Amino acid sequence: MRKNAKQVAVIGAGFTGLVAAYRLSQMSYDVTLFEKGKTLGGLASGTKINGCNIERAYHHWFTTDTDILSLVEELRLADILKYRKSSTALCTGGKVYPFTGALDLLRYKPLSFFSRLRAGFVVMYLRFEKNWRPLSKVAALRWMERFSGRQVTEVLWRPLLQAKFHNFYASISMAWLWARIHIRARSRAKGISGEVLVYPKGGFAVVSDALCGKLRENGVKIVTEANIKKIDANFSMPYLVVGDDRQDFDAIIAAIPSPAFNFLTQDSVNISASYRTKLSSVPYLSAVCAIFSSTQDIGEHYWHSVNDTEAPFLVFINHTKLVPKEDYGGVCVYYMAAYVPEAHRLMKLSEEDVWKEWFAYLEKLFPQFDQNNVVEKIFSRFKNAQHIVDTKYEEKILPYETPIPGVYISNFTQIFPEDRGTNYAVREGNVVAKLAAKRLEFSNSLGGFEIKN
């Protein structure tokens, strides 16, 4: 096999960057992967609880997440894929209501019987409707008011949108909500009734570690704690300033959030004012995530959406209902999380104070919850964790090719109408790597590199 002499930099070692680097290395490019953090995996990166791998932010896959499931198989890890029945609950007015199937909706007391039927018909319609395009420019809140009625909107949809999108909730596109309902409904598996989710035995780290192993095998240079100061191009030659060094490349893929790209290209004359406006047109929220382990089993369901606007977190997850406690040395594992703007008090409050507030609310939801049984606590804050998908979203989606010659951008703001997720990160990583390779092949009119199997 002939090594392709062309050099490519991939910035960001989340799943998008890891996959882009992997594909380019398979095509024998000389790849360097730069990550500003100490570890790889980005938002899906892991930590340990009771000595076992766990994601810092709750993660699972749907059975419809075919891009990442195929990648796992390609990495010869199919054995780690565990298909498990999921169950959900809605926490309304401090009470927990099962909310997994149609019967649960019919028994959901906070809505009148008529509203329950109406909500059910609308969800059923969205599950089967395939054409999301007419929904793209309509606000989910208004669409739901019109078709589900005021009571259903106020009790179900407004709190859900508010929890996920904070003050931006009223502008969220109905196409985004359609995708959530439509895709979730199709997450099924043979022999298991109801919604089925997939979780890799050993955690997402097994997949990112395997990718990392492949990168090293293929000769990719992995630079962690990279101090990239600038991305630009001199005529048609893209370059990075890393620390005090300028490093030239034939192509650069920035698999980083748009605000980070905006910052690194702030001095570039290649970026027009209109491109910069587009680059900063999608606001992001941060995520605050708390994991704890306990000897106590709390709540009957895996996923608890907290539909109270005054609740301090939007979701409570009994991870053990999806992944058995034996996988964590016998302890039960839980998540609580909230999405907030970067300037929100939760981003500044001490960890101790957040735990105090969140545990106090958990005690209200589950009076049997006893803090004395808590074994370990892990607290994380993530910037650029969720983007705002509003009714003008389609106009804001950036092309992969940026105005800087040879520089590409790939991040989850380019995914629409699906929500962001590692599945789409894999898809985007594949696509941007292929595009960059095509352009490089074209510029090197002699062509000629082989794809390793």
Ligand X SMILES: Cc1cc2nc3c(=O)[nH]c(=O)nc-3n(C[C@H](O)[C@H](O)[C@H](O)COP(=O)(O)OP(=O)(O)OC[C@H]3O[C@@H](n4cnc5c(N)ncnc54)[C@H](O)[C@@H]3O)c2cc1C
Binding region for ligand X (CB under 6 A) out of 9-17, 110-118, 129-137, 214-222: 9-17
Select 116 or 164, whichever has its Cβ closest to ligand X.
Answer: 164
Query: Which of 28, 26, 23 shows the shortest CA–CA distance to 7?
Result: 28
- Helix (H) / strand (E) element for 223: namely strand 221-223
Q: Residue 78 and residue 63: Cα distance in Å, rounded? A: 13
Q: How far apart are CA 315 and CA 414, in angstroms?
A: 26
Based on the shown chain and the rule CB under 6 A, indicate whether residue 179 belongs to the binding site for ligand X: no
Binding segment toward ligand X, per CB under 6 A, in 31-39, 83-91, 117-125, 147-155: 31-39
Choose the binding region for ligand X from 32-40, 88-96, 354-362, 394-402 (rule: CB under 6 A).
32-40
The encoded tokens of residue 145 equal 């008011």
Spatial contact of 197 and 69, defined as CB atoms under 8 Å apart: no
Is residue 361 part of the contact set for ligand X (CB under 6 A)?
no
Answer for which of 97, 108, 303, 412 binds ligand X (CB under 6 A) is: 412
Q: Are 60 and 85 in contact (CB under 8 A)?
A: no
Q: Which of 29, 58, 275, 292 binds ligand X (CB under 6 A)?
A: 58
Q: Which is nearer to ligand X, 139 or 260 (CB)?
A: 260
If binding is defined by CB under 6 A, does position 311 make contact with ligand X?
no
For residue 37, state whether it binds ligand X (rule: CB under 6 A): yes
- Angle of helix 422-443 relative to helix 15-26, nearest 10 degrees, comes to 40
Residues 6+ apart with CB under 8 A from 154: none
Judge contact between 139 and 173, C-beta under 8 A.
Answer: yes
CA 180, CA 178: separation in Å to the nearest integer? 5
Smallest distance, ligand X to C-beta of residue 426, A: 9
SS3 302: coil
Please state the closest distance from residue 229 (CB atom) to ligand X, in A: 9
Taking contact as CB under 6 A, which single stretch among the options 137-145, 166-174, 253-261, 443-451 is the one that binds ligand X? Answer: 253-261
Q: Does 14 bind ligand X (CB under 6 A)?
A: yes
**Among residues 52, 57, 75, 117, the one that binds ligand X under rule CB under 6 A:** 57
Number of H helices, E strands in the chain: 14, 20
Q: Residue 447 in 3-state DSSP?
A: coil
Q: How far is the CB of 325 from ligand X (least distance, A)?
A: 20
Q: Which of 43, 141, 215, 333 binds ligand X (CB under 6 A)?
A: 43
User: Is there binding between residue 44 and ligand X (CB under 6 A)?
Assistant: yes
Under rule CB under 6 A, residue 226 binds ligand X: yes
Q: Please state the closest distance from residue 60 (CB atom) to ligand X, in A.
A: 5
Verify binding: residue 11, ligand X, rule CB under 6 A.
yes
Residue 104 — left, alpha, or beta (φ > 0 → left; ψ -120 to 50 → alpha)?
Answer: alpha
Q: Secondary structure of 375-397 in the HEC alphabet?
A: EEEEEEEEEEEEECCECCHHHHC
* Residue 255 binds ligand X, judged by CB under 6 A: yes
Residue 10 interacts with ligand X (CB under 6 A)? no
Question: Is the Cα dihedral 96, 101, 106, 112 positive or negative?
Answer: positive
Which of 258, 411, 413, 430 is close enough to bind ligand X by CB under 6 A? 411
CA dihedral 322, 325, 329, 334 (to 10 degrees): 70
Residue 159 as a binder of ligand X (CB under 6 A): the answer is no
Q: At what angle do helices 66-74 and 205-217 cross, to 10 degrees?
A: 50
The answer to the question of residue 178 lying near ligand X (CB under 6 A) is: no
**For ligand X, which is the closer residue by CB, 260 or 332?**
260
Cis peptide bond N-terminal to 417, omega within 30: yes
Closest distance to ligand X from the beta carbon of 242 (Å): 9
DSSP per-residue letters across 286-344: EEEEEEEEESS---S-SEEEE--TT-S-SEEEEGGGTS-GGGGTT-EEEEEEEEE-TTS
For ligand X, give the closer residue by CB, 292 or 382. Answer: 382
Residue 200 found at the interface with ligand X (CB under 6 A): no
Residue 46 touches ligand X, criterion: CB under 6 A: no
Look at the block and give the residue holding tokens 């050993």: 202
Q: Give the residue with the Cβ less far from ligand X, 122 or 433.
A: 433
Question: Is 260 one of the binding residues for ligand X (CB under 6 A)?
Answer: yes
Q: How many residues bind ligand X (CB under 6 A)?
A: 37
- Asked if 231 touches ligand X (CB under 6 A), the answer is no
Told to check if 420 binds ligand X by CB under 6 A, we report yes
CB distance 306 to 313 below 8 Å: yes
Assign 88 to helix, strand or coil: strand
Instruction: Give, as ranges, the residues between 312 and 341 that touch ligand X (CB under 6 A).
Output: 337
Of 4, 16, 380, 414, which lies in the binding site for ligand X, with binding defined by CB under 6 A? 16
Do 236 and 440 touch, CB atoms closer than 8 A?
no
Chain residues binding ligand X by CB under 6 A are 11-17, 34-37, 42-44, 57-61, 226, 228, 255-256, 260, 264, 287, 289, 337, 382, 385, 411-412, 420-423, 425
